[in-house]
Amino acid sequence: MINVLILCALSAVLLVFTYTLGMYLETAGTVERPAGDGDGFSVVFLVPCLNEERVIAGTLRGLPCGTVLVVDDGSDDGTAEVVRRVAGPRVRLLRREPPNARQGKGRALNHALRRLAEDLPDGDADHVLVCLMDADGRLDPGGLDKALPYFADPRVGAVQMGVRIGNRAQSLLARMQDMEFVVYTWMFQRTRTGIGSAGLGGNGQIMRLSALLDLGDDPWSPSLTEDLDLGVRMVLAGWRTVCVPDATVSQQGLVSTRALARQRSRWYQGHLQALRLVPSVVERASGRKAIDLLNVLLSPLLIFVGAFMTLSLVASLVGVAFSPLAREQLVQPVPIASWYALTFGAAYLFGPLYARITGDMGRLRGLVHGHLFIVYNLIWLVAAWRGLWRAARGRRVWMKTERLAEPSPGAAPSPSPSREPEPSRQPEPSREHA
């Protein structure tokens, strides 16, 4: 049994590591810039929110010039009051009231898009860009200037900005989330940009209005991961999606392991829902683009690759504890070194890459964080099992993730209560606005 687990672990881990190494080598070098410029486009910021009174003011104050449409999806806190207090003439508040409110982020966005399209003259959709910002999003200075030139290519339907965790210095857990976004952006998204199928991921999406309208009256699906769904369908419709890693937007990281596992479970369950797009990819995509999209859609299965390594380690430890023969075979330099290389080999890619890109730490500390990052990713195993369990039970309702309170100048942010709220008898959002 132990040998079978080790063989499965070896095959799966080598496959994933080879794919990761290929992505790393392909994206080595400088960021390629578009030949055009970003002139001639107007930007509309779309900010969906649900009970975001703690963070929405800072987001609105940080947005550059352009129209801002805040979609309050049935908040019962002071979100609307905060928006009205800080809003200038360019900020519009669109309130959704029950029973239409709290039916999912996708439905709220579709409602806002219809209102936006009604206000535009005919023929302007190609030159109007919709920038989707989460309520805790902070657009970094110069981010738009780096992203907008990519739309000079009429084939580009969407640009995804790089995401950073704004409170990454607050805790090791927040630092690992920042590392997760940076590594994914610089190692995988850059390669996917060359293919024309970079993923869209919630905060910091900039979309051409005509590309959204090309997907029908309701471009966002009711899926738990409507952003993933939108990006795949946009590519299948013939548009290119690209990522600009050094045009960044920051957001809050979670500081509770329980809240993080719950959030990742929602993401995992949303990926399961996106499996319905596989037949469309097989039918309508070809070549490397089809391979890339299938890899993304089938990624829930790859989550369990890590389980092979974990199970083989547990089985080996049990064998060492109870079997003299296993102790003799496994407690040797070669088996230990092999297990270490298979488990932590990727740390020598992730850690130095993160240190080099962010400049937050030296190479040695980056290597240590690379090892911690491998352990951190075990959270996906917990999330996967929970997501599968919820999907099997037909549960699609998700409680909203609590925000951290906005710090006063010079003060560190303090976490909101880590206890999850009790389930309400009122309709809850099917996809949290985070």
Q: Which domains does the chain have, with CATH numbers?
A: 42-256 (3.90.550.10)
* Residue 1 confidence (pLDDT): 57
Q: pLDDT below 50 — which residues of the chain?
A: 408-434
Q: Measure the CA angle with vertex 198, ends 143 and 372; round to 5°.
A: 80
User: Quick one: pLDDT at residue 28?
Assistant: 67
In this structure, what are the phi and psi dihedrals at residue 27, rounded to the nearest 5 degrees? -95, 5
**pLDDT per residue over 158-179, tens digit each?**
999 999 999 999 999 999 999 9
Return the pLDDT at 430.
38
Helix (H) or strand (E) holding 280, with range, is helix 278-284
Residue 184 region by backbone torsions, left for phi larger than 0, else alpha for psi between -120 and 50, else beta = alpha
Q: What percent of the chain has pLDDT over 90?
A: 53
| φ/ψ of residue 34, rounded to 5 | -70, 160
Least Cα distance to 388 among 280, 281, 275, 256 occurs for: 275
- DSSP for 144-161 reads HHHHGGGGGSTTEEEEEE
Q: What is the DSSP string of 351-386?
A: HHHHHHHH-SS-HHHHHHHHHHHHHHTTHHHHHHHH
What does the chain come to in residues? 434
Residue 314 is predicted with a pLDDT of 67
Task: Answer yes or no: are the C-beta atoms of 133 and 249 closer than 8 Å.
Answer: yes
SS3 47: strand
- Tens of pLDDT, residue by residue over 93-138, are 999 988 888 888 999 999 999 988 887 766 688 999 999 999 999 9
**CA dihedral in degrees (161, 386, 346, 360; nearest 10)?**
50
What phi, psi does 353 have (nearest 5°)?
-65, -45
